[in-house]
Amino acid sequence: MARVSWFDDKAGTEQIQDRVRHLDSFTDALADGVITAKELDGQEARLVEAMKTVEPLLNDDQHAKVTTLLVELTAYNIMRLLRELQSERVRTAIQ
């Protein structure tokens, strides 16, 4: 598969977000508006498998950079979730 940049500078969109929107396991989990423990466990298993596939392919420098990327991504995801939850809490309190 040809490399596709993670960013589309022309469209101003993140290619990762676009790929997530087309990920069947993600869209199926969101379909009913509830993420079950089974769905979360399945996503974790797919994540661990992907990490186990990639990790041995990385040299030490690449490993350090990808580790930093994963840590920053995890922090971003948690912060974004908390912000969305806070915004929703404020929105419902105003209504």
Identify the pLDDT of residue 12: 58
Q: What is the mean pLDDT of residues 18-34?
A: 91
- Residues 81 and 74 sit within 8 Å (Cβ to Cβ): no
Phi, psi for residue 85 in degrees, rounded to 5: -65, -40
Same-domain status, 37 and 81: no
Same-domain status, 17 and 49: yes
Same-domain status, 39 and 25: yes
Same-domain status, 81 and 43: no
Same-domain status, 45 and 80: no
- Cα angle at 37 between 84 and 39, to 5 degrees? 85
Same-domain status, 46 and 65: no
Residue 76: is its pLDDT beyond 80? yes
Which tokens is 35 given?
Answer: 């993420």
Same-domain status, 2 and 46: yes
Residue 13: is its pLDDT beyond 70? no
Same-domain status, 32 and 48: yes
- Residue numbers of the domain that contains 35: 1-57
Same-domain status, 81 and 92: yes
Q: How many domains does the chain have?
A: 2
Q: For residue range 43-54, list pLDDT tens digits in order.
A: 999 999 999 999
